[in-house]
Chains A and B, each alone.
Chain A
Amino acid sequence: MTTGSDLSRVAAIIGVDESDEMGHVPHKSSMQHHAEAADNALRDAGLTLDDVDALFCAGVGTVSVAEYLGIVPKYTDTTSIGGSSFLAHVEHAMAAINAGLIDVALITHGEAGRSTRGRVGRDPTAAGSQYEAPYGMIGAPVAYAMACSRYMHMYGPERVRQGMADVSIATRKWALQNPKSFVNHPSWIGPADVGYEDYHDSRWIAWPFHIMDCCLVTDGGGACVVVSADVARNAKKKPAWILGSAEGHDHQIISQMPDLTRTIAHETGPRSMQMAGVTHDDIDLTMIYDSFTYTVLTTLESLGYCGPGEAPDFVANLRTGPGGDFPMNTSGGGLSYAHTGMYGMFLLIEATRQLRGESGDRQVEDCNLSLVHGTGGELSSTATLVLSNS
């Protein structure tokens, strides 16, 4: 490892947690998930809402969440770039801390994604409404499926299909080791442990995606507490220091994506790792937003873990699962643990737990450095963090 930038270790994550109930929670609102998660994460940090001087939310505005929580932030940010938003919030919090504006930032997420399926209205004049929605290009599965078809065409449908199966199954195996996973929830009706046959036999959502290529839709929330180095040094638990961060986006709707087989991770990954002064080989745990199996394949390549078209081989033989030599998405991911709609918060929670050695049965040995990568929208936005426990 080389030396990171001056911004490295300016701030750290010292508190993370989910909301009280995850999975199928029809009796609770999104705001309840925000509040429970905020309270739980602050307790994890050894702080209270009275200590919070900055609030970050996506989707729902900070004005609403702060009112509900009964706090008066002096720094407020509702950057909403999809599921990667919360990782971008970490970077923004770090910048505000570095500027001396704040000491304790609270990032909250709550989404009754499962119980409020049917969603918010769309702006009828927006580009997506005008040019994509009339054809049924609505929602993530169709958009990501089209991108995946291009990738399959370029790199061979059979080997890509095998790579997708490997990601799906390896991630499920991690989820079985996480008591908070939806696949361990009483209301889970599908098979728990799965093999290649289950994958290939699972029903189609939008070819080339089987249902086992698609993330869950669950209820839940999460929160994360980012603090200045001074506060972090006195934290009750081992801080997850922010060594590197980067964010970006290069389109919104799928038909505007410059290259369907490469995300803007090809910029945010190298920038974040350069800031941290680390290389791929230094990383002990990789957390990658897995909205779909394909998202993982294209992201591994975009981040530079392997070359274009090589991801199916990179993940072969369940290498990313328990016992494999490339631990990835150890929570069980969006595919099998939780996916409320904007999943990025849950990447931060698991990475922090792993860096503290709190991940129980699924704990990665000697986990000291984690790359955490979010993707939002229709492969539109990405944010990459490098976190260290020292």
Chain B
Amino acid sequence: MTNQPPARMPLPLPTPTQENDFYWEKCKEHELWLRSCNACNEPYFYPRDMCPECHSRDTTWVQASGRGEVHAYAVVERPPTPAFAGEVPFVTALIKLEEGPILPTRIVGVEPVPDAVSIGMAGQIEFDDASETISLPVFRPN
């Protein structure tokens, strides 16, 4: 958490389902939780009832540290939809979490220019209170 929330992003926000309700509830509490497989003991993303690795349905939830590093990123200049017209330029990224899974997110706290970000850059997940019910995990480099 920081005192300065990241810039507001308009819709489209996620629609929680029975399968991922717990994930979004925890995000609301500013905690990142991953679904994890009891059979192969690997956490995975995105949360689903069946482990995508070993296909077991014996799964649980584990809290992630929130630490990770930039795996890939893009500096988006042209709004992908009109909803993002006021947002560009912004930096989308795939973050490799300390626990292994890849989390798609946005990078905050940096200039939205290619050189301000680098692959392998370490940082921490924080949360953007996007609406009354949805808080989005975002990534702030250290």
Which residues of chain B are near A260, meaning CB under 8 Å?
Answer: 71-72, 94
B20, B46, B80, most chain A CB atoms within 10 A: B80
B17 and A125: CB pair below 8 A? yes
B103 at the interface (CB under 8 A from A): yes
B76, B77, B130, most chain A CB atoms within 10 A: B76
How many angstroms between the C-alpha atoms of A127 and B130 in the bound complex? Answer: 18
B76 and A206: CB pair below 8 A? yes
B80 and A139: CB pair below 8 A? yes
Which residues of chain A are near B104, meaning CB under 8 Å?
Answer: 131-132, 135, 137, 253-255
A255 and B102: CB pair below 8 A? yes
The segment from B8-16, B31-39, B55-63 found at the interface with A is: B8-16
B73 and A149: CB pair below 8 A? yes
Which residues of chain A are near B80, meaning CB under 8 Å?
Answer: 136-139, 141-142
- In residues 37-96 of chain B, which contact A (Cβ within 8 Å)? 45-46, 71-81, 84, 87, 90, 92-94
Which residues of chain A are near B9, meaning CB under 8 Å?
Answer: 134-136
* CB of A61, distance to nearest CB on chain B (Å): 25
B76 and A149: CB pair below 8 A? no
* CB of B16, distance to nearest CB on chain A (Å): 8
A135 and B74: CB pair below 8 A? no
How many angstroms between the C-alpha atoms of A260 and B70 in the bound complex? Answer: 13
Contact of A255 among B75, B94, B120 (CB under 8 A): B94
- In residues 210-229 of chain A, which contact B (Cβ within 8 Å)? none
Contact of A135 among B46, B75, B79, B92 (CB under 8 A): B92
How many angstroms between the C-alpha atoms of A346 and B39 in the bound complex? Answer: 46
Chain A 193-211 near chain B by CB (<8 Å), digits 1 or 0: 0000000000111111100
Contact of B12 among A133, A142, A146, A204 (CB under 8 A): A133
Contact of A134 among B14, B94, B118, B119 (CB under 8 A): B14
* CB of A298, distance to nearest CB on chain B (Å): 13
- In residues 120-137 of chain B, which contact A (Cβ within 8 Å)? 120, 130, 134, 136
Which residues of chain A are near B114, meaning CB under 8 Å?
Answer: 207-208
A153 at the interface (CB under 8 A from B): yes
B130 closest partner in A (C-beta): A134
* CB of B43, distance to nearest CB on chain A (Å): 15
How many angstroms between the C-alpha atoms of A141 and B41 in the bound complex? Answer: 35
B28 at the interface (CB under 8 A from A): no
Contact of A146 among B46, B78, B94, B118 (CB under 8 A): B94
Which residues of chain B are near A206, meaning CB under 8 Å?
Answer: 74-78
* CB of B75, distance to nearest CB on chain A (Å): 4
A207 closest partner in B (C-beta): B75
Which residues of chain B are near A351, meaning CB under 8 Å?
Answer: none
- In residues 165-214 of chain A, which contact B (Cβ within 8 Å)? 203-209
How many angstroms between the C-alpha atoms of A207 and B12 in the bound complex? Answer: 22
B106 at the interface (CB under 8 A from A): yes
B94 and A254: CB pair below 8 A? yes
Q: Is the interface of A mostly helix, strand, loop or mixed?
A: helix
How many angstroms between the C-alpha atoms of A153 and B104 in the bound complex? Answer: 18
Chain A 109-140 near chain B by CB (<8 Å), digits 1 or 0: 00000000000001011010111111111110
B12, B72, B84, B130, most chain A CB atoms within 10 A: B72
Which residues of chain A are near B90, meaning CB under 8 Å?
Answer: 136
A28 at the interface (CB under 8 A from B): no
How many angstroms between the C-alpha atoms of A127 and B84 in the bound complex? Answer: 20
- In residues 1-31 of chain B, which contact A (Cβ within 8 Å)? 9, 12-15, 17, 20
Given contacts A127-B46, A130-B46, A139-B80, A145 and B15 within 8 Å (CB-CB) = no
* CB of B53, distance to nearest CB on chain A (Å): 11
A131 and B94: CB pair below 8 A? no
How many angstroms between the C-alpha atoms of A206 and B17 in the bound complex? Answer: 31
* CB of A110, distance to nearest CB on chain B (Å): 24
A to B CB contacts below 8 Å, 14 in the list: A124-B15, A134-B134, A135-B136, A136-B9, A136-B79, A141-B80, A142-B92, A146-B94, A149-B119, A150-B72, A153-B119, A204-B75, A207-B114, A208-B114
A contacts, CB < 8 Å to B: 122, 124-125, 127, 129-139, 141-142, 145-147, 149-150, 153, 203-209, 253-256, 260
B contacts, CB < 8 Å to A: 9, 12-15, 17, 20, 45-46, 71-81, 84, 87, 90, 92-94, 102-106, 114, 118-120, 130, 134, 136
* Contacts beyond the supplied A142-B76, A149-B73: 10 A-B pairs with Cβ under 8 Å: A130-B15, A130-B46, A133-B12, A134-B13, A136-B90, A142-B92, A145-B76, A149-B72, A254-B94, A255-B46
